[in-house]
Amino acid sequence: MKTVLFFHLLLLLTSTNTINNNKAVNRWVVDSSSSLNIEGRSNVTSFRCEVTKYLKADTLAYYKNEAAKQFIFTNSCLTVDINGFDCHQRFITSDFRKTLKADQNRWLKIHFISMDVFDAYSRQLVKGKVEIILAGVSRITTIDFIANPTNTGLIQMNGTKTLTFSDFNLTPPRKLAGFIRIEEAIKVNFQLFFKTVE
pLDDT of residue 36: 92
* 25-197: CATH superfamily: Lipid/polyisoprenoid-binding, YceI-like (2.40.128.110)
Q: Bin 44: left if φ > 0, else alpha if -120 < ψ < 50, else beta.
A: alpha
pLDDT of residue 53: 65
135, 169 contact by CB (below 8 A)? yes
pLDDT of residue 55: 56
Q: How many CA atoms lie within 13 A of 49 on its CB side?
A: 25
Quote the CA–CA distance of 71 and 28 in Å, as a whole number. 12
Judge if pTM exceeds 0.85: no
Quote the CA–CA distance of 140 and 110 in Å, as a whole number. 10
pLDDT of residue 181: 83
Quote the CA–CA distance of 32 and 27 in Å, as a whole number. 16
**Bridge partners, residue 132, by sequence:** 110, 139
**Bridge partners, residue 40, by sequence:** 47
pLDDT of residue 191: 93
- Over its length of 198 residues, how does the chain's per-residue pLDDT go in tens digits? 444 433 343 333 333 333 344 577 899 999 888 889 999 998 888 899 998 666 566 899 999 999 999 999 998 999 999 999 999 888 888 889 999 999 999 999 999 999 999 987 889 999 999 999 999 999 999 999 999 999 988 999 999 999 999 999 999 887 756 677 889 999 999 999 999 887
pLDDT of residue 178: 67
3-state secondary structure the chain: CHHHHHHHHHHHHHHHHHHHHCCCCEEEEECCCCEEEEEEEECCCEEEEEECCCCCCCEEEEEEECCCCEEEEECCEEEEEHHHCECCCHHHHHHHHHHCCCCCCCEEEEEEEEEECCCCCCCEEEEEEEEEEECCEEEEEEEEEEEEECCCCCEEEEEEEEEEHHHHCCCCCEECCCCEEECCEEEEEEEEEEEEEC
Return the closest-CA partner of residue 143 out of 190, 101, 90: 190
